[in-house]
């Protein structure tokens, strides 16, 4: 069985998120999604509109997702890959090269983002405060 993992906040779920999850799942047999906790978002200077528990609940209902685990810090990716026997790490291509250090532990793939949609754009369009990256 080929196991895939991806990471994100997955706030204000939209078509781009679903496309990423669908394409990530198509690369393997099992997809684990590691979703940022509210506490980790605070460390990153971000605030999700939806709570961690609600984001986790929504992700667990998506047919492409087999497992959801919490992301509590920057340094857990290697242990997540090793502890969960991950074969493939997937992220959006706006992170190109940032996770190449994982190539010592698994394959790393950066997928193109969906044009014209992002959580930042949705927040901006709704007049919400947009987090700095």
| Separation between Cα atoms, residue 110 and residue 59, nearest integer Å | 20
The one catalytic residue among 46, 47, 77, 121: 46
Residue 15 annotated in active site:
no
The order of strands in the sheet holding 67-71 is: 67-71, 30-36, 3-8, 88-92, 107-111
| Separation between Cα atoms, residue 5 and residue 112, nearest integer Å | 16
Sign of CA dihedral 10, 21, 121, 97: positive
User: Quick check: 117 and 16 in contact, CB under 8 A?
Assistant: yes
Residue 46 annotated in active site:
yes
The one catalytic residue among 15, 22, 25, 44: 44
Residues designated catalytic: 44, 46
């Amino acid at each position: 069985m080929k196991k895939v993992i991806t990471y994100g906040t997955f706030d204000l779920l939209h078509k781009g998120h679903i496309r990423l999850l669908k394409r990530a799942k198509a690369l393997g047999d099992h997809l684990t999604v590691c979703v940022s906790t509210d506490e980790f978002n605070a460390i990153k200077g971000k605030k999700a509109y939806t709570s961690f528990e609600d984001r986790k609940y929504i992700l667990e209902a998506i047919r492409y997702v087999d497992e959801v685990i919490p992301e509590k810090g920057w340094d857990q990716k290697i242990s997540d890959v090793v502890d969960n026997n991950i074969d493939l790490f997937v992220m959006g291509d706006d992170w190109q090269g940032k996770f190449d250090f994982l190539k010592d532990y698994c394959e790393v793939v950066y997928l193109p983002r969906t044009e014209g949609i992002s959580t930042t754009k949705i927040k901006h369009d709704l007049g919400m405060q947009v987090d700095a990256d």
